[in-house]
Amino acid sequence: MGVSIFFNVFNLFIFAFLLHPLAAHKASVEYCNKKANYAVKVNGVDIDPYPITRGKEAKFNISATTEKSISKGKLVIDVTYFFFHVYEETDILCTKTTCPVSGDFVLSHKQSLPGYTPPGSYTLQMKLLGEDNEELTCITFGFSIGFIPAVAAG
């Protein structure tokens, strides 16, 4: 009887922690140029769900702060898989947060990945450019795409 309970608890652990995506993840963020004094300081990146599930929407919330008042700009996102450039996107800043930006703010980005997206580790670089393409910040962080597609993980 004790062995049966052990296997039931073990199976529950496997399902809950290894096969089912976690609720959210705080990514480790690095600045592209560690010596730069960027006008926008990034406090953190939350990714939900984590790892990202192929075929389902993922949400990236980037918390930041600035002493400037920023009314225009763009986000340039580049993604690499190992050393291969696999995705690029440019968005208008004010579609990702409320403008004008000043003080503490959050950039929100949602992305759905196709079911055929290869599982594994990716690196995302995000640049926030001001009106005259001034680099207000540039960060990189890693994220993972799970091995189980949305149909099986559902």
In which band, very low, low, confident or very high, does the pLDDT at 25 lie, cut at 50, 70 and 90? Answer: confident
Position 1 scores a pLDDT of: 52
Give mean pLDDT, residues 86-99: 95
Higher per-residue pLDDT: 150 or 147? 147
Q: Is the separation of the CB atoms in 62 and 41 below 8 Å?
A: no
pTM equals 0.79
CA-CA-CA-CA torsion sign (115, 117, 119, 124): negative
Indicate if the pLDDT at residue 97 is higher than 80: yes
Separation CA 100–CA 70 (nearest Å): 5
End-to-end CA distance of the chain: 32
Note the pLDDT tens digit of each residue in 8-17: 444 433 343 4
